[in-house]
Structure 1
């Protein structure tokens, strides 16, 4: 199947972020699009995996997670599970707060409840929800 690419405007509309957010995240190296040089300038295109990254950032920020923590989660996921953003396979993780540090682990209901019982923070990182939202917007032809 041929890869589909999206302009910044398309990516913003599909993921719910603003063009300024996309530009800022690109400048900071948080979400790195495919940039194609042309004769008179450059055209910036985002892949399907970039859309997942953008949608994930929007989702986490909308839940009240700080920008720094959202960037941390995205970086950790890209390092630990790089295929997640390419495969279209949604999985569930959780971010655990312990002793002034954060760790990203596979979602485990019992472990999450134990952390909550101890008064520690548990932040859901559910990529399957993010994929479902993108699939609804794009249709099954693109994801």
Structure 2
């Protein structure tokens, strides 16, 4: 193998991480950025409808849920403490506001984090996303 062919092979397999993560966050195909990544709320499409990139290799599993819990917990817990210490609202009012806020933030983050995790796997050529050796 010549040096030129090695450079061409590396350039062909180069998948920049940042654009892939942004496309995944927007729930778009990490390869082309046009086709939808998800075909439901959380179901990943088998392949992109635009560029035909296979997406069924992903292994997102419980990662998006763990990250959602981590982010929501770290945002809402200090906010809950701040609101309670500052204004001392009624417990039922506090519970209602923060339970709705936690649910809404979780529902917003979950599909976006799943898209970002699938895009990360695609960019790093993990779990079958890489070219066959």
Calculate the TM-score normalised by the size of structure 1: 0.23
- Which gives a bigger RCO, structure 1 or 2 (Cα 8 Å, sep 6+)? 2
Comparing both structures, which one devotes a greater share of its residues to strand?
A: 1
Q: Which has the larger radius of gyration?
A: 2
Comparing both structures, which one devotes a greater share of its residues to helix?
A: 2
